[in-house]
Amino acid sequence: MNYLFDTSVLIAGILAAHPHHKRAKPWIAKVIQGKVNMFVCNHSIAELYAVLTRLPVSPKISPGNALALIEHNVIKVGNLVNLTSRDYHRVLEGLVRDHLSGGLTYDGLIYYAALKSGVDNLLTLNKKDFDRFNSNDAIKIHIP
């Protein structure tokens, strides 16, 4: 089964201290075991690195450790969905058309990556945010 993983699930699945770790970690494990095919928007890699390296945890996650976590849990086992400059423009056009702004921009990129990759499922901890883009139910949105 093919799923595009939202950044929220990746963070929760990687960080044991995250409040939703017990819900998200099994999904990362399914990917590593080859039971689920993970797709990830290339934007989410940068977002994941930014979050991991700025979290107020002790000990702090170093840039090198953040990269190692991303490589092990995402890059080596997932499929990256690369968005082009034209894809970014299309997302922005859709946001303008639908009068959406702010942080929904990033959710729009991730949703577009799900459409572009052809997956049927999107896994997120923020279902409500993605429901705004999924008015025609093109993708099944799941919460771990």
**CATH number of the domain to which 72 belongs:** 3.40.50.1010
Counted domains in the chain: 1
Q: State what percent of residues in the chain have pLDDT above 90.
A: 90
pLDDT over 90 at 31, yes or no? yes
Q: What is the spatial distance between Cα 100 and Cα 62, in angstroms, rounded to a whole number?
A: 34
How much is the mean pLDDT over the chain? 95
Residue-wise pLDDT for 64-106, tens only, equals: 999 999 999 999 999 999 999 999 999 999 999 999 999 999 9
75 Cβ contact partners less than 8 Å away, ≥ 6 residues apart: 45
| Banded pLDDT at 136 (limits 50, 70, 90) | confident
* Domain span at 17: 2-142
pLDDT band at 130 (very low <50, low <70, confident <90, very high): very high
